[in-house]
Amino acid sequence: MTGRWLPEAGVKSLDKYLVPNEERIVFVVRRHWTIMTEPILTTVGSGIAMVFLVVVLGEKFADLANIIFIAWLVVLGRLIFHIIEWRDSWFGSTQRRLMLIHGLVTRKVAMMPLEKVTDMSYGRSPIGQVLGYGEFVLESAGQEQALRSVTHVPHPDQLYRLLLSTMFVRTSGGRAVPASSTGTESAPAITPAPTPRVTPAPGPSGELREFPWQERIAELLSHDDQPTVPNVVEIDERED
């Protein structure tokens, strides 16, 4: 799995924290190199100051010059640490959540479920517009989430559109349809089963025999055609 938004190193790093057979990586990128602006400027500035002091102090203060040089090596080591940490940090998204993986000594994974994102925007400072990075700001309902903003996002315009398409649209049968608020597809319509037709059972001689309830109705109807004869009560009269 390779491509502009799916570098092999990033996919391997993100894949460790995915649910097997449930999540698909949409994109994964390193944050913009300008996130290391402060360590770079600190190292360069302290290096210039170190060279100036070593030249000025000369051999008279050789011990002090050595201490200054060792201090600058510590600053240089800090820069190298930040570079290694930057190369091993990734910002990515699956079809279900956003993830920010960072930390070299202590590994941290911050994430935000896409279904909880109620609003998302991004901003680009003047320097960000020139150098090509921005900041994503995520809004969610309920409790405060671990991932609320991501700074120094490279290619913010393209990733913003890609992320929006992941949040609100998915492809179904080659046709783009809006996703529901719960992230589940609507159930197919249920067609009622046809009512079975009942056929009378054949009698002993092979003819079709009516059901008992039909025979009972016929019997009641035949009784209604006969005249009703009142009961005659004979009274035995006795003479007084």
Domain borders along the chain are 8-171
Long-range contacts of 58-66 (CB under 8 A, 24+ apart): none
Instruction: Give the range among 146-160, 174-188, 217-231 with minimum mean pLDDT.
Output: 174-188
Phi, psi of 126 (to 5 degrees): -55, -40
Predicted confidence (pLDDT) at residue 43 exceeds the cutoff of 90: yes
Is residue 76 within 8 A of residue 144, CB to CB? The reply is no
Predicted confidence (pLDDT) at residue 103 exceeds the cutoff of 50: yes
215 or 65: which leads in pLDDT:
65
Given 1.10.1060.10, 3.30.1020.10, 2.30.29.30, 3.20.20.140, which CATH number is that of 8-171?
2.30.29.30
